[in-house]
């Protein structure tokens, strides 16, 4: 069932377009509307119910009280009736003659008052003289003495006696009513009244549908009730609050009025009572609270039914109204969303004739404008994209060109690439590059693109000189364009161009740092201006072309120079070789002859001559040494010096050098020391040259040291050994330390003159060490001497100097 309800509700919702509309705003409106209406309805209903309940209850109680009073009255009257009837029987005097009459009166009383079951008559002395009964036989003159009984005594005293209620057969309520006659000797009539007949009175009271009336005696015992069984059962009613209250009120005690209490069956009842005259009885009229409240419940039901209906109505109208309200808002929302998401053709349609419609119109306006501007933008974007594409193409072309320029020195190729790209990108039909020939002062056609051979030949023939357009452009150092050659002054070149079918011309001069280098020309068949874009592009190409041309030039120059250098070097080597040979030959002769002379081959020489000849010899040797050195150096420089590699002992090298320079050192009174470790390796290299190196260093050390010592130290390390020569000479300034290894240099040129030497030794020595794969360096400072060291690897392979 619940499932079916849900299904239906959802279907209803779908069909009414619920989902589109329902949102927080919608729900809010509906809820608000519903709340307002329901509050109004509810409060109204509740108030009404409350007030009507109160009124209703009050009126019911009033009615009940009236009924009770009426019933009490009736009971009173009933008793009064009995009283008066009984009273009649006391009228006759006591005499035998009247006995029959009495009897007849009694029997008639029984007839007329069904309530009286028995009538007894006592004479003035309290003896029973007559008894008539319904149930038993009549008895006359029994003389039973009742003079002590209250029914006699009290009746005599008070004229009337109401006896307490007793039960016959434990089930029938009876009351003794005794009435005394008016006359002093009248005696007392005693009636046994069956109170079951009062029941008729009480039950005759109609209290609503299920209400009832009952009567209790002064002790709280039930004496009349619609349910006779309760009466017969001798029910004690004092357990009911209302009974207690009524009894208390009767007794004059202050008590609260009880309007709502419980009845014998525990049901809640609306209760009212009225006392019955002198008997001390109380009549209660009770209406079940349910029945009393029934109209109330009915009213509540009505109200809630109404409320429900009202709520449903409110809900539906709320939905309807909210929909009317929210609908346009929703339309606006979705419309705006669609516009926002890019669908600018969307227009929102709201025809409610209020602010919302105005808003929708505004939206539509906005959408329209957006559409326009979008279209505009799109156009612009297209345009820019085109331009961008163009630029990209140009850049690419430039890139290619640059690549070409950088990757090859083939000027032809470069220029071809440039002109081709230039023509392609400028949207022209043909192009050419001219290179300016400085000597001839004319532009030579170097590269073309898109030009027919005939055209090329024609142009080539025609030499473009200074007066030509190209030259003008070069003069201006700016591009020159001709939108239509036909409009220009006639010109043989132009004629050619026109003949070839081109009408528009753009010339871009190629300007290098030293002036015009050439020109780039593009030609178009269609006449018209060349856009700035094209001019700028060609300008760029022009720059590239300049670069290319310059590169090419430089390369050629370098090539040329290189060749010249080659030739020069060759000449030099040739010269040196020749010269050294030429020099050595006579020098050897001189030395030879001098030797001979000193050896006294040619007779004894005087001492002076001997000394002189010795000086000549030494000078000559010196000169030979120099020539050798020069030759060596040139050989080394030419890369023609080779090492003869063999095993050698480092120790031996040191000792040899030591031996060679010992005398020199002694001569200058210098100490010559040697420090050698216990084991020096056997190395592999050019022994002679290395000895030469060490000799050079030690020699220099001795030469440049005037006092002190020269120390030779050798150290062996992993795979190499280090030899150092320390002197206590003047030292070498750090700034000169590099200089001294250069050719033809000594630290101090003045010293050269003093000390002699070609200044070649260190340079050569270093070269030799370097050829072995070693190093040579110096450590020195002014005034602290100098230490020249070199390291040589033990294993040396043939290495040619570069």
Partner 1 sequence: MRRRDFIKLIGGAVTWPTAAGAQQSAVPVVGFLRDTSADGGKQFAAAFRQGLRETGFIESQNVTIDYRWTDGQSERLPALAAELVRRRVSLIVGSAIGATLAAKAATSTIPIVFAVANDAVAFGLVASMARPGGNLTGVSYLTAELGGKRLGLLHELVPKVTHVALLTNANNPNTRIFVQDVEAAARSIGLRSETFSAADEHEIELAFAELSKRRIGALLVGPDTLFTSLHQQIVQLAARYAIPTIYTAREFAEAGGLLTYGPSLPGVYRQTGVYAGRILKGEKPAELPVLLPTTFEMIVNLKTAKALGLDIAPTLVARADEVIE
- Residues in contact with partner 1 by CB under 8 A are 5, 8-9, 11-12, 15-16, 100, 103-104, 107-108, 110-111, 114, 133-138, 169-172, 194, 196-197, 228-229, 232-234
Quote the least distance from Cβ 17 to partner 1, whole Å.
11
What distance in Å separates the CA atoms of residue 3 and residue 610, rounded to the nearest whole number? 147
Give 95 or 229: the residue with its C-beta nearer to partner 1.
Answer: 229
Give 111 or 571: the residue with its C-beta nearer to partner 1.
Answer: 111
Give 169 or 351: the residue with its C-beta nearer to partner 1.
Answer: 169
Quote the least distance from Cβ 141 to partner 1, whole Å.
12
Give 8 or 619: the residue with its C-beta nearer to partner 1.
Answer: 8
Nearest to 246 by CA among 279, 214, 210, 274: 274
What distance in Å separates the CA atoms of residue 511 and residue 518, rounded to the nearest whole number? 7
Backbone angles phi, psi at 263, to 5 degrees: -95, -170
Q: How many CA atoms lie less than 13 Å away from 158 in the CB half-sphere?
A: 10
Give 231 or 348: the residue with its C-beta nearer to partner 1.
Answer: 231
What distance in Å separates the CA atoms of residue 234 and residue 172, rounded to the nearest whole number? 9
Strand order in the sheet with 720-727: 671-675, 709-717, 720-727, 786-793, 775-780
Give 174 or 541: the residue with its C-beta nearer to partner 1.
Answer: 174
What distance in Å separates the CA atoms of residue 738 and residue 725, rounded to the nearest whole number? 17
| Pairing relationship of beta strands 709-717 and 671-675 according to DSSP bridges | parallel
Quote the least distance from Cβ 110 to partner 1, whole Å.
8
What distance in Å separates the CA atoms of residue 635 and residue 361, rounded to the nearest whole number? 101
Quote the least distance from Cβ 118 to partner 1, whole Å.
11
What distance in Å separates the CA atoms of residue 754 and residue 762, rounded to the nearest whole number? 18
Contact 450, 422 (CB under 8 A): no
Distance of CA 123 to the CA centre of its chain: 121
3-class secondary structure, 184 = coil
Quote the least distance from Cβ 171 to partner 1, whole Å.
4
Give 153 or 234: the residue with its C-beta nearer to partner 1.
Answer: 234
Give 166 or 744: the residue with its C-beta nearer to partner 1.
Answer: 166
Give 21 or 110: the residue with its C-beta nearer to partner 1.
Answer: 110
Quote the least distance from Cβ 270 to partner 1, whole Å.
23
What are the tokens at 689? 């040259």
Quote the least distance from Cβ 300 to partner 1, whole Å.
17
Contact 222, 237 (CB under 8 A): yes
Give 203 or 364: the residue with its C-beta nearer to partner 1.
Answer: 203
Give 305 or 528: the residue with its C-beta nearer to partner 1.
Answer: 305
Backbone angles phi, psi at 645, to 5 degrees: -90, 130
Nearest to 90 by CA among 214, 210, 177, 29: 177
Q: Say how many residues make up the chain.
A: 802
Quote the least distance from Cβ 148 to partner 1, whole Å.
25
Give 12 or 612: the residue with its C-beta nearer to partner 1.
Answer: 12
What stretch of H or E contains 582? helix 532-598
Quote the least distance from Cβ 254 to partner 1, whole Å.
36
Nearest to 790 by CA among 693, 710, 717: 693
Contact residues for 50 (Cβ-Cβ < 8 A; gap 6+): none
What distance in Å separates the CA atoms of residue 549 and residue 518, rounded to the nearest whole number? 9
Q: How many CA atoms lie less than 13 Å away from 271 in the CB half-sphere?
A: 24
Question: Can you count the helices (H) and strands (E) in the chain?
Answer: 21, 23
What distance in Å separates the CA atoms of residue 166 and residue 174, rounded to the nearest whole number? 5
Quote the least distance from Cβ 221 to partner 1, whole Å.
13
What distance in Å separates the CA atoms of residue 14 and residue 552, rounded to the nearest whole number? 85
Quote the least distance from Cβ 198 to partner 1, whole Å.
11
Give 131 or 766: the residue with its C-beta nearer to partner 1.
Answer: 131
What distance in Å separates the CA atoms of residue 638 and residue 802, rounded to the nearest whole number? 8
Contact 246, 36 (CB under 8 A): no
3-class secondary structure, 638 = coil
Work out the angle between the directed axes of helices 24-88 and 289-340 (0-180°, nearest 10): 170
Quote the least distance from Cβ 172 to partner 1, whole Å.
6
**Which residues are bridge partners to 276 per DSSP?**
281
Quote the least distance from Cβ 184 to partner 1, whole Å.
29
Contact 610, 598 (CB under 8 A): yes
Give 9 or 589: the residue with its C-beta nearer to partner 1.
Answer: 9
């Amino acid at each position: 069932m619940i499932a079916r309800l849900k299904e239906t509700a959802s279907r209803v919702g779908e069909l009414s377009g619920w989902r589109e509309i329902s949102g927080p705003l919608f729900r809010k409106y509906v809820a608000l509307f519903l709340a307002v209406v329901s509050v109004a309805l509810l409060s109204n209903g509740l108030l009404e119910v409350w007030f009507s309940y109160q009124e209703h209850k009050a009126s019911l109680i009033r009615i009940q009280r009236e009924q009770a009073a009426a019933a009490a009255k009736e009971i009173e009257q009933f008793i009064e009736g009995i009283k008066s009837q009984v009273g009649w029987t006391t009228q006759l005097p006591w005499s035998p003659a009247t006995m029959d009459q009495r009897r007849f009166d009694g029997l008639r009383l029984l007839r007329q008052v069904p309530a009286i079951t028995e009538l007894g008559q006592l004479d003035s002395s309290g003896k029973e003289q007559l008894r008539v009964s319904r149930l038993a036989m009549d008895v006359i003159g029994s003389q039973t003495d009742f003079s002590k009984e209250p029914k006699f005594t009290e009746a005599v005293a008070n004229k009337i006696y109401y006896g307490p209620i007793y039960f016959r057969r434990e089930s029938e309520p009876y009351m003794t009513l005794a009435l005394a006659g008016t006359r002093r000797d009248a005696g007392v009539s005693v009636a046994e009244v069956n109170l079951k007949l009062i029941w008729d009175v009480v039950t005759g009271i109609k209290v609503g549908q299920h209400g009832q009336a009952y009567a209790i005696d002064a002790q709280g015992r039930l004496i009349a009730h619609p349910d006779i069984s309760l009466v017969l059962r001798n029910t004690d009613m004092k357990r009911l609050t209302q009974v207690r209250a009524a009894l208390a009120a009767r007794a004059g005690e202050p008590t609260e009025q009880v309007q709502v209490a419980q009845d014998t069956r525990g049901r809640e009842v609306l209760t009212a009572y009225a006392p019955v005259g002198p008997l001390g009885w109380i009549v209660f009229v009770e209406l079940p609270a349910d029945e009393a409240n029934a109209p109330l419940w009915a009213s509540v039901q009505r109200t809630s039914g109404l409320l429900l209906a009202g709520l449903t109505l409110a809900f539906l109208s709320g939905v309807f109204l909210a929909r009317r309200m929210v609908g346009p808002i929703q339309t606006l929302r979705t419309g705006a969303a669609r516009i926002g998401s890019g669908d600018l053709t969307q227009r929102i349609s709201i025809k409610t004739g209020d602010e919302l419609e105005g808003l929708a119109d505004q939206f539509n306006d906005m959408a329209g404008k957006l559409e326009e501007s979008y279209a505009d933008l799109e156009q612009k974007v297209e345009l820019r994209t085109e331009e961008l594409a163009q630029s990209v193409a140009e850049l690419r072309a430039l890139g290619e060109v640059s690549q070409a320029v950088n990757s090859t020195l083939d000027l032809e190729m470069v220029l071809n690439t440039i002109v081709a790209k230039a023509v392609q990108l400028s949207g022209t039909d043909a192009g050419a590059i001219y290179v300016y020939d400085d000597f001839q002062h004319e532009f030579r056609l170097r590269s073309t693109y898109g030009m027919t051979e005939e055209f090329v030949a024609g142009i080539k023939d025609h030499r473009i000189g200074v007066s030509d357009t190209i030259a003008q452009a070069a003069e201006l150092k700016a591009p020159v364009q001709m939108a239509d050659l036909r409009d220009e002054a006639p010109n043989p070149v132009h004629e050619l161009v026109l003949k070839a079918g081109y009408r528009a011309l753009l010339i871009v001069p190629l300007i290098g740092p030293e002036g015009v280098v050439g020109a780039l020309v593009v030609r178009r068949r269609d006449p018209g201006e060349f856009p700035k874009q094209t001019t700028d592009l060609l300008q760029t190409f022009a720059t590239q072309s300049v670069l290319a041309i310059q590169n090419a030039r430089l390369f050629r120059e370098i090539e040329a120079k290189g060749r010249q250098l080659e030739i020069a070097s060759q000449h030099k080597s040739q010269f040196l070789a020749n010269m050294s040979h030429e020099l050595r030959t006579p020098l050897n002769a001189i030395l030879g002859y001098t030797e001979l002379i000193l050896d006294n081959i040619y007779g004894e020489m005087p001492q002076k001559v001997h000394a002189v000849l010795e000086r000549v010899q030494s000078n000559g040797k010196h000169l030979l040494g120099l020539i050798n050195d020069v030759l060596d150096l040139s050989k080394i420089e030419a890369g023609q010096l080779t090492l003869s590699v063999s095993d050698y002992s480092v120790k031996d090298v040191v000792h040899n050098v030591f031996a060679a320079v010992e005398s020199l050192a002694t001569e200058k009174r210098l100490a010559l020391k040697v420090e050698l470790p216990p084991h020096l390796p056997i190395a592999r290299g050019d022994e002679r040259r290395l000895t030469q190196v060490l000799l050079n260093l030690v020699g220099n050390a001795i030469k440049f040291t005037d006092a002190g010592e020269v120390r030779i130290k050798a150290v062996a390390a992993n795979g190499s050994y280090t030899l150092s020569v320390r002197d206590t000479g003047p030292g070498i300034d750090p700034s000169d330390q590099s200089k001294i290894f250069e050719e033809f240099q000594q630290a101090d040129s003045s010293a050269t003159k003093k000390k002699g030497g070609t200044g070649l030794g260190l340079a050569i020595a270093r070269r030799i060490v370097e050829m072995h794969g070693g190093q040579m360096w110096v450590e020195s400072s002014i005034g602290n001497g100098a230490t020249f060291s070199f390291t040589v690897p033990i294993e040396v392979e043939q290495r040619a100097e570069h």
